[in-house]
């Protein structure tokens, strides 16, 4: 084996997109994230997933920001984003735009992300690194999913969890 050249990588991904087409229109809501490195990483995740946008609310840092730019590696210039300061306004706007809001949270009634039936237009709601998705936010969501943990910790990094669930939403259950 050898690493692929850029043109070979492009063809590989084109073939993969034909074989595994995306089944949803995807967006992310970042609720009061604290770490700009997570925000930069979410720009990369959003680009990889072909997400339509990132929506920032609460205290989530936004570009321009050195840490976001360093971690985002230019993806923050490629992915649409908007800041809606009030959480209630952000949730209402996304619902009005036809998004099905799905929180990534261990909550009553949450389903394993592997079993959830993601609709054609979904916004994944990612919560604060310490406090998770706020109860008031959960009350406005159409569903919640969790990722099973096999170690001692009850969660994983927010951008890793976002990527994992986003790809399941994109590709659906096989």
How crowded is residue 73: how many other Cβ atoms within 10 Å of its Cβ?
13
State the pLDDT confidence band at 174, using cuts at 50, 70 and 90: low
In a domain, 139, yes or no: yes
In a domain, 77, yes or no: yes
Output the domain CATH number for residue 97.
3.40.1280.10
**pLDDT of 165 strictly over 90:** yes
pTM of the model: 0.94
Provide the terminal-to-terminal Cα distance of the chain, rounded to the nearest Å: 29
Copy the structure tokens of residue 91. Answer: 């949730």
In a domain, 137, yes or no: yes
In a domain, 4, yes or no: no
Residue entry with tokens 């919560």: 127
**How many domains does the chain contain in total?**
1
Domain encompassing residue 163: 24-171
pLDDT tens digits, residue range 103-136?
Answer: 999 999 999 999 999 999 999 999 999 999 999 9
In a domain, 164, yes or no: yes
């Amino acid at each position: 084996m050898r690493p692929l050249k850029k043109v070979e990588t492009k063809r590989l991904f084109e073939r993969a997109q034909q074989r595994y087409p995306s089944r949803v229109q995807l967006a992310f809501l970042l609720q009061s994230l604290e770490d700009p490195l997570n925000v930069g990483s979410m720009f990369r995740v959003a680009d990889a997933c072909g997400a339509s946008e990132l929506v920032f609310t609460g205290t989530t840092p936004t570009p321009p920001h050195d840490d976001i730019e360093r971690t985002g590696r230019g993806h923050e210039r490629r992915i649409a984003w908007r800041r809606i300061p009030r959480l209630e306004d952000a949730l209402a706007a996304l619902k009005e735009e036809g998004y099905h809001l799905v929180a990534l949270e261990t909550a009553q009634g949450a389903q394993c992300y592997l079993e959830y039936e993601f609709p054609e237009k979904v916004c994944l709601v990612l919560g604060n690194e310490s406090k998770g998705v706020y109860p008031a936010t959960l009350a406005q969501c159409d569903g919640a999913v969790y990722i099973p943990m096999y170690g001692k910790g009850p969660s994983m990094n927010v951008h890793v969890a976002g990527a994992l669930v986003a790809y399941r939403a994109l590709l659906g259950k096989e």
